[in-house]
Amino acid sequence: MATELHNLSSYDPYTIPWGEGKRIGIVVSEWNYTITGSLLNGAVNTLRKFGVREEDIVVEHVPGSFELTYGAKLLIEKGAVDSVIMLGCVIQGETPHFTFVCDSVTKGCTELNLQKDVPVVFGLLTTLTLDQAKARSGGRHGNKGDEAAITALKMLALRSRYQ
């Protein structure tokens, strides 16, 4: 498994683009908030560490992970953001609901990336257990929120090289 080989919070700080002057939107699911709140804290702290001002971080909460793509779309169209991070957590249960939500969010994120000129970062945990989610939201595997923030900064740098 990938996180067994790489901690989500591990990065070389000298390779991370500076975020000063960037406005970052974060859409976070309220479902599984003990997990998604940790993801949010990780993302915000990492963005701040790399120069994004607190007032340039726009956080919007949505009821569940399925609503992340619509929230991201609104931030792109109405929020004047340079990038959007989608943070959620879906833990597999006894029904196919897990698959439907995960597939929908994945496809929605991809569509936004292809249709809009704003990088949209996939920060959705898709785990089999609560313990796996905890391990990836600040536990032994690091924090997916940190990784999502770094990804947003790197994608903004990539976009700026081609504008």
**So where are the chain's domains?**
22-161
Of the listed ranges 2-6, 48-52, 78-82, 154-158, the least confidently predicted one is: 2-6
pLDDT of res. 53: 98
Quick count: other Cβ atoms within 10 Å of Cβ 100? 12
| Catalytic residue selected from 6, 61, 97, 141 | 97
pTM for this predicted structure: 0.95
CATH code for residues 22-161: 3.40.50.960
Which residues are CB-neighbours of 80 under 8 A, at least 6 positions away? 23
Q: Is 2's pLDDT higher than 80?
A: no
pLDDT digits 0-9 by tens, 18-61: 999 999 999 999 999 999 999 999 999 999 999 999 999 999 99
Residue 4 — very low, low, confident or very high, per pLDDT cuts 50/70/90? low
Q: Is 97 a catalytic residue?
A: yes
